[in-house]
Each structure stands twice: as structure tokens, then as C-alpha cells.
Amino acid sequence: MTMTAELTVAVWPGLTPRLLRDGTESLADYKQAGGYGPLADPDQLLAEVSASGLLGRGGAAFPLAVKLRTVRDNGQRDANGTVVIANGEEGEPASIKDRWLLRNRPHAVLDGLRLATAIVRAERAVVYVSDAQAAAAVERALAERADGRDGPQVELVTVTPGYVAGEETAAVHVVNGGPAKPTDKPPRPFEEGVAGKPTLISNVETLAHLAYLHQHGAQAFRALGTEASPGTFLATITGAGLPPALYELPHGIAFADLLTLHGVSSDNVRGALLGGYFAGLVNRDILGATLDHESVRALGSGLGCGAIGILTDDCPVAVAASVLAYFDRENAGQCGSCFNGTAAMAAVATALRDGDATAEDVERLRRWSVVLRGRGACATLDGAANVAASLLAQFPDLVQRHLESGCQTCRSGAFTAARPYEVESLEAVVAV
């Protein structure tokens, strides 16, 4: 494990890293390690992806093979060609994995993009980012590849950072020349995306795993992880009063063991904020969970993008209030249900934190967390509903204490943060 003043980057003990590495990787480094190998049969690679069980790492954990096959088939049926977008617009403040990959291993991402374009027979390939350092690293990598490129020319599209900017229809909107705001669905991008063509939008970590899979095959990919959550994933760990960390972990490890690796005593843990902000809060039941999709879903939550905020000294009510206030500020401002709903939920959570809420307010929050789901053009409102619902379900005694007598933790200085557990834009990142 190596630590800078800003970020710890490490792999699970005994694990041969698949995505993390020490230093910034050049084209020569990447090719020497087997990257950019010839692709004889895209359909055979698609079969390997299906056998691997590779799930998307952007948040939804959707099977990559299904997305690839759907876009390919839609493109063939429409005779309209297809497009692939490597989505590196990491709008989630509590995550650093995508920026790290783009800054340090851009060729792994570009190799995965090359393979995806071949599988879906794409006529256009785009890297979509908001981080300036990531954009510069991709530009350098594209310049290195200029003489040896195969497949369509790769375009780099940059956008102003924002929580909704990485949403798939917002990405399509930007590439089509519009603002970074989600659009109504249907159609979804796999049906009609960039320039009206079926479009595959894949997270950059997912594409880096695709490049690994091409080199090593489905059996090697499945050698780590669980049956339903195979392989490794990149986890951004924040909170607990410690510097943030980026770990490469095999799916299925115990959350308690991750705490040990990170240097946190389980005795001090009140719960966690999962999936960045989207999946909401969990209580101390997380201590008995393993880090795979099936185990975390059983707690009523999700791994999402792999960002985990560990709650120790921070009051979960105050954390929920800050996250809901963030959703209120960051919504796209174009759906009334989201614009008004996030504001209303944030107001109740803030009043609850400050000891000003009533039982009726809490009941309204409970109702909103149910009836507002699915009403926006994107998932921002769903994320806010997840936070509100999980607070009420996971910490009912704490909510009641805030209603009746207030919270000693909050009275002594409530947790407030404009972007809770944010991982700042880092100048230097060192990996082992």
C-alpha cells in the first residue's frame, strides 16, 4: 500500500492487479503487457464477454454482453450504423476511479473502446470526459496511437462537470451538440442515440475490464469474484476521518475485512453511504455483508459505482441532509417533480438534523420517498428518494431521537458538506 498526502491507492492483499498499476502507463508499456492485441473474431469476443458475466461498473451493474448484443443487432436491423461512447464523466463527487484510469491508464480504456466498436460494428467512437487532466491524458494517448490505430477515429468530447452530465441521455445530448441535460426516455440510447444511431454508452472502467478480458479470457476473468458478481472492481473509500483511498478489490470480500485494510475499527462504524450518493445509507448491518451485488442488494442498497463513504463520527441524519441538499442543487432544473421533490426532501432532512422537524414532516418525507420515484427524466430524483427512504428504514431510532430530544452529535456541531465525502481533483496519484 502506498499513500500520498491526498490519496491511498492499493490492491487487495495477494491480488495481482488487473486495472491498478504503479505510475502512468505509456503506449509501449501497454503493448508490452499484451494490450492492443489483434481481434480476429468480434463475435467470438462477444461470446467470451457473455461467458465472463462482466457487469457494467458505472452504477447499474447491467451485463455488458447484453448491451453489446442489443446495440449491434439494432444497428444491423436499422442499417444505420452504431456509435460507442466511453463515459468518463465522473459526476459522482465521492468517486475517483474513472479519473484515475483515464489519467494513468488511458490505453486500457482506449483498447476497450476499440474492442467495443468492433463488436457492435460502430462507425463512430467517442471518449466523453469532464476532468481536464483526464482529457489531456487521453489526447496524449491518442497521439501515441496515431500511426497504429484500427477502427473508427476516436473523438474526445469534453463537458463541464456536473452530477447529471454523466447520465447516458445527457452524454448523447452533448455529443449531438446540446447541453448536458438528460432527455425523456424512450427512446433510450441503445435504440436511438448519437445522430439517431443505436449507441452503446459504457463506463470507462467497464471498457478497461473488456480489454483485460480480451487478453486473458472469460475463465481467467471469473477466477476472482463470485458467481453472480465476477471479477474485480475499483472502490473509492472515503469518510472515517481518513484520506480517501482507491482499491482494486475482488467481489465477495467481507466489508469488515475492507475496514481492516483501510485502518478503521468496526467498533466505530455507524454505517455507510453506498454507491456514491445514489444507493443511500445502510446501518451497521453492513458489517456482516460481503462486497458483491447480491449481498449488498439484500441490505436494500447497492454497490453502484463502487464509492463507499464510511460513517463513524458523522450523524447519518446530517449526512442524509447534506446529500439531499446536494441533489437539490445539482438537479437539471427541467423536471418539476425533481426540482420540487429534491427541494422538499432536502428541507425536511435539514429540519430533522436541526431538531426543527415534526412527525408530520417525517411522514411526508416517507411518502415522497415512495411516490416520487421514476418521475424525472433521469435518476437524480430516484437517488434522492433512495437516500430519504434508507435514512428512515435503516436508522428509525436515530430519526425518532432527532424528533424528540435532538442528537448530541449534531448539537455539538452537525456534519455539513456541500459535496459530502468528495474526492478532490488530485494532482498526484501513486499506485502499487
Establish if 429 belongs to a structural domain: no
Query: What's the DSSP call for residue 312?
Result: S
pLDDT for 168-188, tens place per residue? 999 999 999 999 999 988 899
CA pair distance 66, 230, nearest whole angstrom? 16
pTM recorded for the entire structure? 0.95
CA pair distance 3, 157, nearest whole angstrom? 32
Establish if 3 belongs to a structural domain: no
Establish if 226 belongs to a structural domain: no
Domain termination site, one of 311, 338, 356: 311
Which helix (H) or strand (E) covers residue 154, if one does?
strand 154-158
CB atoms within 10 A of CB 13: 9
Q: 30 with 58, same domain? A: yes
Query: Among residues 358, 360, 381, 378, which one has the least CA distance to residue 369?
Result: 381
Q: Which of 143-152, 319-328, 353-362 has the lowest mean pLDDT?
A: 143-152
Q: 59 with 124, same domain? A: yes
**Residue 256 has what pLDDT?**
98
Q: What total number of domains does the chain contain?
A: 3
**Residue 218 has what pLDDT?**
98
Residue 268 has pLDDT above 70, yes or no: yes
Contact between 276 and 27 (Cβ < 8 Å): no
pLDDT for 376-421, tens place per residue? 888 899 999 999 999 999 999 999 999 998 899 999 899 999 999 9
Mean pLDDT of 296-319: 97
What is the grid cell recorded at 106?
488511458
Establish whether the linkage from the previous residue to 186 is cis, with ω within 30° of 0.
yes
Establish if 139 belongs to a structural domain: yes
- Looking at this protein, which amino acid is placed at residue 123? E
* CA-based R_g, the chain, Å: 21
CA pair distance 125, 49, nearest whole angstrom? 20
Contact between 361 and 348 (Cβ < 8 Å): yes
Q: 204 with 84, same domain? A: yes
Question: Quick one: pLDDT band at residue 432, thresholds 50, 70, 90?
Answer: very low
CA pair distance 245, 181, nearest whole angstrom? 30
pLDDT for 33-57, tens place per residue? 999 999 999 999 999 999 999 999 9
**Residue 343 has what pLDDT?**
96
Q: 239 with 146, same domain? A: no
- Name the average pLDDT for the chain: 94
What is the grid cell recorded at 366?
416517507
Q: 74 with 190, same domain? A: yes
Parent domain of 277: 232-311
Establish if 1 belongs to a structural domain: no
Domain termination site, one of 202, 221, 240: 221
Mean pLDDT of 13-42: 95
Residue 262 has pLDDT above 60, yes or no: yes
- Looking at this protein, which amino acid is placed at residue 141? A
CB atoms within 10 A of CB 69: 17
Question: Which CATH number covers residue 23?
Answer: 3.40.50.11540
Backbone angles phi, psi at 120, to 5 degrees: -90, 0
Residue 356 has pLDDT above 90, yes or no: yes
Question: Quick one: pLDDT band at residue 255, thresholds 50, 70, 90?
Answer: very high
C-alpha to C-alpha distances, 355 to 342, 392, 407, 411, nearest whole angstrom: 20, 16, 8, 9
Q: 211 with 87, same domain? A: yes
C-alpha to C-alpha distances, 413 to 108, 176, 353, nearest whole angstrom: 45, 46, 11
> Which is it for strands 232-239 and 199-203: parallel, antiparallel or unpaired?
unpaired
Q: 98 with 186, same domain? A: yes
**Residue 425 has what pLDDT?**
57
Beta carbons within 8 Å of 336's beta carbon, 6+ residues apart: none
Establish if 163 belongs to a structural domain: yes
Residue 149 has pLDDT above 60, yes or no: yes
Domain termination site, one of 221, 255, 278: 221
Please state, for a pLDDT cut of 70, what percent of the chain lies above it.
96
Q: 103 with 217, same domain? A: yes
Q: 276 with 180, same domain? A: no
Q: 303 with 323, same domain? A: no
Question: Which CATH number covers residue 363?
Answer: 1.20.1440.230
Q: Helix 64-78 crosses helix 106-120 at what angle (to 10 degrees)?
A: 50
Residue 94 has pLDDT above 90, yes or no: yes
What is the grid cell recorded at 247?
482499491
Residue 429 has pLDDT above 70, yes or no: no
Question: Which CATH number covers residue 253?
Answer: 3.10.20.600
**Residue 5 has what pLDDT?**
46
CA pair distance 336, 229, nearest whole angstrom? 37
